């Protein structure tokens, strides 16, 4: 039961980190674009370009986090197989 609860908490924290990563990267790109548009007077081009960069960065972060989580799961499974020993 404790392992199930630990796995649930681990899964929820992973999913929340994915969402936060995507939103944060998008907002950072958006705010950089708005600031540059105001400074350079290029509205709306810098906002659109930097928002796109932010969204791409968010998807990149999701890819990296997912790959890391899958690698951790594979390592845990390999460790469990080694602990069980040969059948």
DSSP string, 2-35: HHHHHHHHHHHHHHHHHHHHHHHHHHHHHHHHHH
List, for residues 42-63, the tens digit of each pLDDT value. Answer: 999 999 999 999 999 999 999 9
Q: Where do the structural domains in the chain lie, given as residue ranges? A: 26-68
List, for residues 61-83, the tens digit of each pLDDT value. Answer: 999 999 999 998 899 888 888 87
Kindly state the tokens that stand for 77: 């499974």
pLDDT at residue number 45: 96
Compute the mean pLDDT over every residue in the chain, rounded to the nearest whole number.
91
pLDDT at residue number 85: 64
* Cβ contacts of 40 within 8 Å, gap of 6 or more: 46
């Amino acid at each position: 039961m404790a392992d199930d609860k630990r796995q649930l908490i681990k899964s929820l924290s992973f999913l929340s980190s994915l969402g936060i990563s995507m939103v944060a990267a998008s907002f950072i790109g958006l705010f950089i674009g708005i600031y540059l548009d105001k400074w350079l007077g290029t509205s709306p081009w810098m906002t659109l370009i930097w928002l796109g960069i932010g969204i791409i960065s968010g998807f990149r972060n999701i890819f990296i986090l997912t790959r890391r989580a899958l690698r951790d799961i594979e390592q845990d499974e390999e460790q469990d197989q080694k602990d069980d020993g040969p059948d």
